[in-house]
Amino acid sequence: MIESLGWLSAVLGGATLGLFYYAGLWFTLRNLPQQTHPALWVFGSFILRLAISVAGFYFILGPDRNLLRLGVALLAFIVARVVLTRRLQPVPSPEPRSNPDR
């Protein structure tokens, strides 16, 4: 029973990390046009998402260093990417303005 709880927590942890990482990426790119320093915005977002994800995977790995549990979490992380990609629709590009001087 305890072992199955560990596998369930690995799946839920990986999916949660995936949702956080890819939703954060979506949020970053969606708000990019309003930023005064877009490169700093993208870099800061990447570092924050990466640090939290690596810490989460390290926590999921556990003190016994179970690589199979880490693999399950990584698989759930990738599944979260697929789910978010299908759920979040791309932002339509703005219509080009017609030049009134022409």
For the chain, the domains span 10-86
Question: What pLDDT is stored for residue 4 in this prediction?
Answer: 81
pTM of the complete model: 0.80
Question: What pLDDT is stored for residue 87 in this prediction?
Answer: 86
The CA-based angle 40-87-28, given to 5 degrees, is 5
Return all residues near 59 (Cβ < 8 A) that are at least 6 apart: 13
Residue of 21, 23, 14 lying closest to 88 (CA atoms): 23
Q: Consecutive sets of 10 residues in the chain, 102 residues long: mean pLDDT of each?
A: 82 96 93 92 96 96 90 96 85 67 60
